[in-house]
Amino acid sequence: MRSKILAFLILGISVSAGYAQNQEEVEIKDIIESVAENLPEDYDMTELTEVLSRLKKRPINLNNTSVDELKNLVFLSPLQISNFFNHLRENGELLDVMELQAIDGFDTETIQRLIPFVTIHQNLLINELKLKDILQKAENDLFIRYARTLQKLKGFNDLSGNKYLGTPERLQLRYRYHFDDVVTASFTIDKDAGEKFISKPFDFYSGNISILKQGRIKKLVIGDYTLQFGQGLTLWSGFSFGKGPDVTTTVKKDLGLRAYTSSNEYAFFRGAATTISLRKNFEFTPFVSLRNLDASQTLDIEGNLIQSTINQTGLHRTPTEIKNKNTLSQLVLGTVLQYNTNTLNIGAIAYKTQFDDRFISQAALYDHFSFTGKSLTNLGFFYNYSFKNIYFFGEGAKSLKSGIAFNSGALISLSRTTSLALLYRNYAKDYHCFFNQGTSESSEPTNEKGLYAGLNIIPNKQWSVSFYADYFQFPWLKYRTDAPSKGYEILSQTAYSPSKAFKILLRYKLEMKQQNTDLELPLNFLESVKKEGYRMEVNWQMNKNWKFQNRLEISQYQKGNAKRELGYLFYQDINSPTFFKKMNGNARIAYFNVPTYNSRIYAYEDDVLYSFAFGMYNGKGIRSYINLKYKFDQRFDF
């Protein structure tokens, strides 16, 4: 039996100052798990966790808030936020948080998630910068993490001539400073497994200082920052939600300028940016960024450095990865102008990206329309508008001397129990943008047309039903697809929760695409690729000390007339928030039998504090983990 078990053990130690109680961690974990599957595999959820932790300590005053502030609550849709402000305009201030039940779209689950982060009482905010207060009344958070896999990974031995040159440990140190809603600062250093200490003790350094709400200056960030505007087509750094069971996630909730606190080494700007209030409802956000990127470079016939792609992994483990580190200089300069009210937001974007070396055309035919040259100018226009029970949104984008991309849609509250999401998108095959996260089937919003429709139905407190269908076309060639192609995706999910202690969920997902045949022929033709997924999940709580989750997931994969692959994953989770007075923990044991990578299954996994994972299951084996936490006192956890 032992020979069949794959042992995977991670040792994690975290030292923290001033963290909240166990109940807060459980609530935040539940929210993160609910949104995790709509995020890319390498998404760093540190920033999301920090935002929710701060809001727990200083809840949002619902009678004195803004659209931008409520966007921080990731589980609220733009339509729910719009309906909330409509309710305030028509009925005045809330007298009790439970009045939210009277607002369209605010179901029981949403209100339960919302309650820990909101209040109806005035927060005592400090809006003046005084040195004494900055030094004495601020919150300081120092976090250190060490982790390694005990077994030696193949990368240290089996990659002849290009193996990992560093050590197997992963190290991270993070410091955060918060002085109310006025001044924040952060500093992050990180070393990934396999990286070595090259010329400095850590591979990645990031930091910033932010000043907020000072006169006409709404935000000022010096250092590393992100910009997220519109629907992600023109200017969006960092990650965003994709298609998921909650159909409202297809609408981007742009957060504008934000300080960058993640350890991801690619998705950010480095320099300075500010958001200034020009006059009532008008905002102006100029920004400048200068940083070095990883790129694979060669010399052209004239001896000039050139490249075809940018490396986005942030990993520097092998001789090749180390050689490519920080080889390409990138300068970004631009601005955003917005008009904002609680019902209308329109904006215009203009910026230029300049590189010190030239991009060249790639050899593959599907890359015929990829970006070439040293500079790129992007222009964009975006809008969202709330009218009664409808939230309209969209964005148009243009890369100068090349293509156009646009999308447009609506969230509609058909009744108190039913919401409809519609989205049309059309992205030209020669549209170029280095900072985009528009809704798409491909990894980038280019060379695609699509129509999406989804429904959320919550007839009562016990039942919820979600459904979406997405049809897409690719007018030009793609990787492993040597002709124009098309496909569709369907998802249906039903959840039943007769009580707070029990919930059962059923899901079906179908994806049909086209891809080059695997047959050895002189001329490629396209075959249909069919992927299906089935999920059954049961969550139940025996008492206040013990919670359980069971999941069975089945995946099927078939290409053309080849034999169908069938894979499955079953896991048992056990969670105990307080099984001893000062100790809590959770554990999982999972059995999986998945034939190949094509039929792989992903599952969200817990880890030590501020660390999360998307386990990728393929092959056959057993995967398990256990997390324990002991609380020595209010300021020290192990």
- Check whether 27 has a pLDDT greater than 70: no
Pairwise CA distance, residues 125 & 143, whole Å: 26
Residue 430 lies in a domain: no
Residue 289 lies in a domain: yes
| Secondary structure letter of residue 110 according to DSSP | H
The set of residues, in sequence order, having a beta carbon less than 8 Å from that of 323 and lying 6+ positions away, is: none
Pairwise CA distance, residues 93 & 466, whole Å: 32
Residue 553 lies in a domain: no
Q: Residue 409 pairs with which residues in a beta bridge?
A: 393, 423
- Check whether 534 has a pLDDT greater than 90: yes
51-86 CB burial, b ≥16 within 10 A, e <16: bbbbbbebbbbbeeeebbebbbbbbbbbbbbbbbbb
10-26 CB burial, b ≥16 within 10 A, e <16: eeeebeeeebeebeebe
pLDDT confidence of 564, banded at 50, 70, 90?
Answer: very high
pLDDT cut 90: percent of the chain above it: 50
In this structure, of 359-368, 423-432, 595-604, the range with the lowest mean pLDDT score is: 359-368
Q: Residue 478 pairs with which residues in a beta bridge?
A: 481
Question: pLDDT value at position 42?
Answer: 58
Residue 618 lies in a domain: no
Average pLDDT (430-442) is 93
Supply the mean pLDDT for the chain: 87
Q: State phi, psi for 315 to the nearest 5 degrees.
A: -95, 135
The set of residues, in sequence order, having a beta carbon less than 8 Å from that of 344 and lying 6+ positions away, is: 383, 384, 385, 386
Residue 423 lies in a domain: no
Q: Evaluate whether 454 touches 421 at the Cβ level (below 8 Å).
A: yes
- Check whether 12 has a pLDDT greater than 60: no
> 3-class DSSP state for residue 17?
coil
- Check whether 372 has a pLDDT greater than 60: yes
The set of residues, in sequence order, having a beta carbon less than 8 Å from that of 384 and lying 6+ positions away, is: 78, 344, 345, 391, 392, 393, 394
Distances (CA, A) of 172 to 13, 14, 178, 546: 11, 10, 20, 32
Q: What is the CATH number of the domain that holds 206?
A: 2.40.160
Q: Cα 100–461–108 angle (5° rounding)?
A: 30
Residue 489 lies in a domain: no
Average pLDDT (415-423) is 91
Residue 247 lies in a domain: yes
Please give the model's pTM, rounded to 2 decimal places: 0.89
Residue 310 burial (CB < 10 Å; 0-12/13-18/19+)? middle
Question: pLDDT value at position 44?
Answer: 66
Domain count, the chain: 1
Domain span at residue 316 reads 138-413
Residue 313 lies in a domain: yes
pLDDT tens by residue, 179-219: 877 899 999 999 999 998 765 678 899 999 999 988 899 99
Question: pLDDT value at position 8?
Answer: 33
Question: pLDDT value at position 488?
Answer: 97
| Secondary structure letter of residue 156 according to DSSP | G
DSSP run (H or E) holding 114:
helix 108-114
Residue indicated by tokens 């991670």? 10
The set of residues, in sequence order, having a beta carbon less than 8 Å from that of 280 and lying 6+ positions away, is: none
> 3-class DSSP state for residue 179?
strand
pLDDT tens by residue, 307-356: 888 988 899 999 889 899 999 999 999 999 999 988 899 999 999 999 99
Would you list the DSSP string of 517-573?
--S--SS--EEEEEEEEEEEEEEEEEETTEEEEEEEEEEEEEETTSPPEEEEEEEEE
Question: pLDDT value at position 21?
Answer: 39
Question: pLDDT value at position 574?
Answer: 94
Q: Evaluate whether 33 touches 75 at the Cβ level (below 8 Å).
A: no
| Secondary structure letter of residue 122 according to DSSP | P
Question: pLDDT value at position 198?
Answer: 60
pLDDT confidence of 270, banded at 50, 70, 90?
Answer: very high
Question: pLDDT value at position 207?
Answer: 96
Pairwise CA distance, residues 588 & 150, whole Å: 19
pLDDT cut 70: percent of the chain above it: 90
Q: Evaluate whether 6 touches 622 at the Cβ level (below 8 Å).
A: yes
> 3-class DSSP state for residue 621?
strand
> 3-class DSSP state for residue 32?
helix
Q: Of 447 and 120, which is predicted with more confidence?
A: 447
